[in-house]
Structure 1
């Protein structure tokens, strides 16, 4: 560790702990008055009128008790900001960035948390969401982001954190609400939420959504989707309950792969999006034949039995089927055509040329089933308070995919691309890939209070993960004749490639927790996560046989290993109306390497070693009953490290790609509860993100940005009218990033809604 790095880390830790002690001051001063509150049944911390809790099969209890950062986007925030997708919901959490997911603007299915990919770490009601699609928010009760390694609780991967969405579930009272909205760029949306109490213990709930939108300042981009989610609960409010939740969503959209990054022949040049050099952000480089058609069906069964004051059993099962047809066009701006040079030379006679690459469509069907069963025992151990969770997590997932051959690249005027005529798609399937994955896991997590204030929490998960894959190539990816198969040269009608990876994974976690009062928690946590080859089945992870002359491939490597060290503090302020969280952390990501005994090549994982040091601060709740606040700040010092490979050594010391050094998300609202202003709602928010690099070489960069949103609403009787404004300053910034291409965010947008509830 270098001296400068060490000093930087110490400064961050000092700032965090100093902030923690300043915030702790009032609470410590009042601790004497609060003595004995625990025995007297002290009120839990409430944020926006509800208890801030995590309710996953393997992680339960108030957020203030969980020894890691947990950012929650409540139902109220989802409503206030008129959130329509998971990607929009996560704009409320600093430090989460969005990659170019397969679907384009307003689509968020591939995220990065604490510098680590979370594309396979999205959960619904604590169960893994197997598919890849635009997740609409119409059936969300809340969204939680667990920061830090969570493999012990949630399974393989989950290296930087996890995203969990909580479904709306049935209740025993009757209620009905409906909202209609219209807005900029042909925006239209209808949602319905209706619940019927059939008996004192049985409830039926139905949520419905129909949605359409274009995108302000993005030509030719549109989306149409609809969905419904009925749920039925038995034994609600009793010791034994059983709930069924069905979810259906269909979508048809025009794919947006954004704009290219300007590349020049100058090796010292920093490449930027072409929109930074005068190309209108509305410019679209795709074709009308690009498409994204998705049908999603999932069924979740949740069982809970409270056997007594000290024993709880849960068993949750999810079955999912996801069908998708997808075709995109990838924009490019390469030095071969002097695209960037001609764009920047100021000479009107030189035409910058974009090389856009249409892809053949792929069709895939993803299916999965998972069961998580837990037994929670809260009996004292040796006279000390103890909370033990044991259980299993078993799943089986398949992904059957076929890829069409692609047309030849198109050369177009960068400033005036033409979307017609359509490329000449070969119309033949060049590749079939069938993947099967089995995951069998057992876990145990125990928290023991050595004193009323000090406890230790230890857990471990064992997983046996096996993934197999059969890949059959009929042609080259451009429809040409195969001239090689498994390293053997010679024409062949089809080439079969089998892949297999089996790993036994051990994921430990250990925390020391000090709770000097009911409203303060300090913790130190160590955790380890493992990311095996073929981890993300539906996202196209491939298993390859060795190349010609090699005897090993990346599938022979050990899983990537990520170690996380967290030091944090949490506080309840303002009469338990507000929760404050702060943490410093370090993440060490190890990239396994191995020397092939035949070729003498160094085989390595796709990402070099990384070390990330960060500081996070989150504030959520009510300063007063009328003034609500949700603010998050994230600082990440993310660097590549030497790993012995040529690529790894060349980028050592560079910033990890897709990771902003600074990020802020804030939202505040004022809602008078008395007086002449009662019923009025005024809200405002901002998002800031520092520059982001798109590649390990750090010569492709997306600039920093600040954007502002606002809300004006009024409630009268059973009705609510609202006007939301987004990106009010019409800032040019980028909603999704990826190597060599980025998607510009929508320009200034307004959405008006009217809702009724009774």
Structure 2
């Protein structure tokens, strides 16, 4: 290994084998600067072209187990259902390793998604959960997030302290993931215990905006057959450029591996996470310009003392891996988890007319007032959701040979049983202040648009309305699938796969006083069976290049988005309960190539996804139909890896043309999708200046994005380019310093827009900087 690459390296497999690698430590030296940032590389292959015995060198031991020694931004998938390398898989895959995550300065799932081309952010509120809402290639994917191969139910705000890498699988992925997955899915790989690599890595960070973050990652081989790994987190920070907004997070994870024999192992882990903070809906809209109002960036339109957010997770997992013979292996993972998402967040509703005697803004008409008298009402959107679930995924992989043809077969099934208890919030009518005085809680708030005063001066104790009781949603999913990769020659192969799913939802809502008056109790049930399949052809002109064409399908049953309330949020509803699942088809043609000795992976793909019998509404009070057709098509270019050992590159470009092609309302044909920009691009680049010093950065670009529920309206957030910077310096063999500067130019931009005709916009964080010291032992 060259001296300039001494801080990067590979990592031993977590699986115990007769050829376990030797270890002498490992290092990572990455810097992300204003013009690029770097993604980590992972071993490109585990086939006969590469030596499976990995030798680890350098200072830092906690490198991604999938990492390529000479190209830490280039990574392989951790999903065992993909039997080929990323190079040879006929699908668009973006693998984001934890080394890349460090270089772009991300500490949450949302921050990573914000920097991924082809994936965009959406908003949540009361009708759907406030949390990690994402779109992939134009389609909703908030419930298409997986952890270690199992769907992670419940939309919350996720952390990444115990994550090894994140994979974005694009295009309909029902054969691998089940229901939904229209535009793709996101998979998180947890950190697992390792053999032959004892280490303790402690990180401490401090920065602007009261940023404090500490993590620990410790791995220890207890014996020749047992290893344990522990991760811990404490994070406390304000949101850059925003008054009153911030969060405190802490968590822990413990993972163990027991190698019973050379062919049988058991992995188990427990994950705990807590978040508490003040949420933010951003800025109101200027209805004249149909863009966010240009008020002071730090203006906060929430209610300090009322608004809060609390997320949590307790998840236990057991995984069994067994390889009785060389060409056959079994994998089974079982999980029980409890997550919750509770919040009161304020929607900044702009009023440009004189309010009535009750302080309400008239829905129509009203006496106009000058701009200096515009007001904002912080209307509360809230949720109190508890989610519990059981899930299992079991599959077998086998290699069989018939004559000169090789079959790599994946046969398996999965199951999930999920329950969501959703409560309305109980807001008291009076509270006591610090002196014991009884204070009436205001029924409404009115702020000056340009000078809001959001501080109550006391806290309102808010909890669930247990007297009314919860709305209960129960969902069960069973799936069975078969995928066969048929290799006719080294140069030509086809991939065929099919999957059958059953999806059942039961819903009960108690009687309550709703937005439109008293609501009776309601019970609903929905059940659907659907089959999806894929077919791909792969041609390899050389060992380092691949051409492919692929066709795949997926389905969206009614009520699929279990966090949604009503048809407009894709939740269960009387409006759509009799509809058949939406059907999605996708074509993709692409090329992949490895350059510079396999250290740099380039990909290019053209895609088209069509959703038929799409559910659509004719407007408020109008019935739903399922005769629409939605089409998303475009091109995607990506790159990941290293050049000449000193330059690390990660990034890509996505063009997405997402429009309505058929509709019950002819006026809708040709309109764009909401929440989907046409152009997104990213470049992360770092360069080794010396063997101890690395510098680099990231630039991310996104063009304008229009709001709306499904169809884009006229309200929009403008496009932007954001620059980040990073530098690393190895102080000693066991100590490294990293400096991240995010949003280097303090660009004012917006990364999401609310769906209504008078929306609001999520303003993205302003400039921040922090320094992180990493010590390894």
Residue in 2 that maps onto 1:560: 582
**Structure 2 counterparts to residues 126-165 of structure 1, below 5 A:** 126-165=149-188
Q: Tell me, what secondary structure is at the counterpart of 2:223?
A: coil
Write the distance in 2 (CA, Å) between the matches of 1:594 and 1:323: 30
Write the distance in 2 (CA, Å) between the matches of 1:261 and 1:117: 24
**Structure 2 counterparts to residues 583-622 of structure 1, below 5 A:** 583-592=605-614, 602-604=623-625, 609-622=629-642
Query: Which of 49, 54, 57 is the matching residue for 1:41?
Result: 49
Deviations 1:4-33 (A, max 9, x none): xxxxxxxxxxxxxxxxxxxxxxxxxxxxxx
Check if 1:228 corresponds to 2:252. Answer: yes
Residue in 1 that maps onto 2:405: 384
Q: Tell me, what secondary structure is at the counterpart of 2:447?
A: strand
Query: Which of 575, 579, 588 is the matching residue for 2:601?
Result: 579
Alignment check: 8 A CA contact 2:404 2:488 kept: no
Write the distance in 2 (CA, Å) between the matches of 1:236 and 1:566: 43
Check if 1:332 corresponds to 2:372. Answer: no
Deviations 1:186-211 (A, max 9, x none): 00000000011001231100000000
Alpha-carbon offset, residue 53 of structure 1 = 1.9
Write the distance in 2 (CA, Å) between the matches of 1:585 and 1:64: 18
Of residues 187-196 and 587-596 in structure 1, the stretch that sits farther from structure 2 once superposed is: 587-596
Check if 1:536 corresponds to 2:561. Answer: yes
Write the distance in 2 (CA, Å) between the matches of 1:458 and 1:336: 61
Residue in 1 that maps onto 2:394: 373
Alignment check: 8 A CA contact 2:707 2:754 kept: yes
Write the distance in 2 (CA, Å) between the matches of 1:559 and 1:113: 19
Query: Which of 315, 318, 325 is the matching residue for 2:332?
Result: 315
Alignment check: 8 A CA contact 2:309 2:344 kept: yes
Residue in 2 that maps onto 1:746: 765
Alignment check: 8 A CA contact 2:675 2:712 kept: no
* Change in 2 beyond 3 A, CA 1:50/1:84: closer
* Change in 2 beyond 3 A, CA 1:226/1:39: closer
Check if 1:469 corresponds to 2:507. Answer: yes
Residue in 1 that maps onto 2:77: 54
Query: Which of 210, 221, 240 is the matching residue for 1:197?
Result: 221
Residue in 1 that maps onto 2:656: 636
Deviations 1:197-227 (A, max 9, x none): 0012311000000001101211110100100
Query: Which of 278, 291, 294 is the matching residue for 2:311?
Result: 294
Q: Which has the higher contact order (CA 8 A, sep 6+)?
A: 2
Alpha-carbon offset, residue 423 of structure 1 = 11
* Change in 2 beyond 3 A, CA 1:150/1:334: farther
Residue in 1 that maps onto 2:749: 733
Write the distance in 2 (CA, Å) between the matches of 1:39 and 1:307: 20
Write the distance in 2 (CA, Å) between the matches of 1:246 and 1:631: 33
Write the distance in 1 (CA, Å) between the matches of 2:652 and 2:318: 34
Residue in 1 that maps onto 2:377: 355
* Change in 2 beyond 3 A, CA 1:337/1:442: farther
Write the distance in 1 (CA, Å) between the matches of 2:193 and 2:717: 44
Write the distance in 1 (CA, Å) between the matches of 2:159 and 2:243: 22
Alignment check: 8 A CA contact 2:564 2:572 kept: no
**Structure 2 counterparts to residues 93-104 of structure 1, below 5 A:** 93-101=116-124
Q: Tell me, what secondary structure is at the counterpart of 1:76?
A: helix
Alpha-carbon offset, residue 124 of structure 1 = 0.8
Alpha-carbon offset, residue 58 of structure 1 = 2.6
* Change in 2 beyond 3 A, CA 1:155/1:709: same
For normalisation by structure 2, the TM-score amounts to 0.82
Write the distance in 2 (CA, Å) between the matches of 1:420 and 1:186: 20
Alignment check: 8 A CA contact 1:94 1:665 kept: yes
Alpha-carbon offset, residue 402 of structure 1 = 1.0
Alpha-carbon offset, residue 541 of structure 1 = 6.0
Alpha-carbon offset, residue 184 of structure 1 = 1.0
Alignment check: 8 A CA contact 1:521 1:570 kept: yes
Alignment check: 8 A CA contact 2:536 2:550 kept: yes
* Change in 2 beyond 3 A, CA 1:424/1:725: closer
Write the distance in 1 (CA, Å) between the matches of 2:185 and 2:445: 39
* Change in 2 beyond 3 A, CA 1:76/1:437: same
Residue in 2 that maps onto 1:662: 679
Write the distance in 2 (CA, Å) between the matches of 1:692 and 1:141: 31
Residue in 2 that maps onto 1:16: none
Query: Which of 736, 750, 767 is the matching residue for 1:720?
Result: 736
Alpha-carbon offset, residue 127 of structure 1 = 0.9
Alpha-carbon offset, residue 587 of structure 1 = 1.0
Residue in 1 that maps onto 2:9: none
Query: Which of 693, 704, 712 is the matching residue for 2:719?
Result: 704
Residue in 2 that maps onto 1:258: 282
Alpha-carbon offset, residue 517 of structure 1 = 1.7
Deviations 1:631-673 (A, max 9, x none): 21001111122322x3xx333212211111111111101125x
Larger helix share, 1 or 2: 1
Which runs of 5 or more residues in structure 1 are unaligned? 1-36, 265-269, 341-345, 486-494, 547-552
Alpha-carbon offset, residue 473 of structure 1 = 2.3
Write the distance in 2 (CA, Å) between the matches of 1:476 and 1:95: 38
* Change in 2 beyond 3 A, CA 1:441/1:134: same
Which runs of 5 or more residues in structure 2 are unaligned? 1-44, 53-66, 356-360, 363-367, 428-441
Query: Which of 189, 195, 211 is the matching residue for 1:187?
Result: 211
Deviations 1:674-711 (A, max 9, x none): xxx22101011100001001122431111000010011
Check if 1:515 corresponds to 2:521. Answer: no
* Change in 2 beyond 3 A, CA 1:89/1:350: closer
Write the distance in 2 (CA, Å) between the matches of 1:90 and 1:166: 15
Write the distance in 1 (CA, Å) between the matches of 2:302 and 2:48: 65
Alignment check: 8 A CA contact 2:338 2:389 kept: yes
Check if 1:686 corresponds to 2:699. Answer: yes
Q: Tell me, what secondary structure is at the counterpart of 2:577?
A: helix
Residue in 2 that maps onto 1:569: 591
Residue in 2 that maps onto 1:21: none
When the two chains are superposed, the root-mean-square deviation of aligned CA atoms in Å is: 2.9
Deviations 1:693-731 (A, max 9, x none): 112243111100001001122012200011110111111
Deviations 1:369-422 (A, max 9, x none): 111111111111343011111111111000011113688554332112232448
Residue in 2 that maps onto 1:282: 298
Residue in 2 that maps onto 1:491: none
Query: Which of 469, 478, 485 is the matching residue for 1:447?
Result: 485
Alignment check: 8 A CA contact 1:262 1:334 kept: no
Residue in 1 that maps onto 2:473: 435
Deviations 1:300-333 (A, max 9, x none): 1111111222111110112110133211111122
Alignment check: 8 A CA contact 2:122 2:753 kept: yes
For normalisation by structure 1, the TM-score amounts to 0.84
